[in-house]
Amino acid sequence: MNLINKITKEEFENLKTPILFTEKNAEANNNLASISNGINGFRIAWNSDINPILLLVSRNIYAIGIDQHFAVVDFESQAVLLNIDLFYNFYDIKIFSGFIYVITELEIIKINLLSYTLVETYPLPDYFENIEFNDRGIEVKCLGGEIVTI
């Protein structure tokens, strides 16, 4: 099942599901979509040409990120467990050792996987290039060759 479905402006306005995130300037929203598990869902709007990333966190709970937005939602209860505006552009979501890692262009955000609360933010010295999870910890490689160990 495809959880993210692009929709028209008319469909977006007619849906009765909650809006998860949208740009402050509504005219800037070039892309509109519904995210749904087939029963419950949300509406999202964003400006960039990239597609949102949606990751299953646990049963009926998903993390989603796009542009400068990140959220964790529970489709079963249709609750927003966490919704944060990012300072930098969103890149990816990873889960490792009981935490969600939100990767942006210039920082990594660590979120507790049980409480969905922000634990820590790690600034990066240059643009994000790669992340590696191993038994020694987490190594983040930046564009300038710098490596940040978390």
DSSP annotation string for 7-36: --HHHHHH--SPEEE--SSGGG--EEEEEE
132 within some domain? no
Report the domain count for the chain. 1
Cα 104 to Cα 31, 38, 59, 112, 121: the distances in Å are 20, 29, 25, 17, 11
pTM: 0.91
Instruction: Answer yes or no: is 46 within a domain.
Output: yes
* Residue 123 domain flag: no
Q: Does residue 3 lie in a domain region?
A: yes
* Distance separating alpha carbons of residues 13 and 60, to the nearest angstrom: 25
**CB burial readout 87-114, b (16+ within 10 A) else e:** ebbbbebebeeebbbbbbbbbbbbbebe
For residue 70, being part of any structural domain is answered with yes
Domain membership flag for residue 107: no
Residue of 52, 51, 73, 53 lying closest to 62 (CA atoms): 73
pLDDT digits (tens, 9 = 90+) for 36-92: 888 889 999 998 889 999 999 998 999 999 999 999 999 999 999 999 999 999 999
pLDDT > 90? residue 28: no
User: 76 in a domain, yes or no?
Assistant: yes
Query: Which domain range does residue 70 map to?
Result: 1-85
Domain contains 62: yes
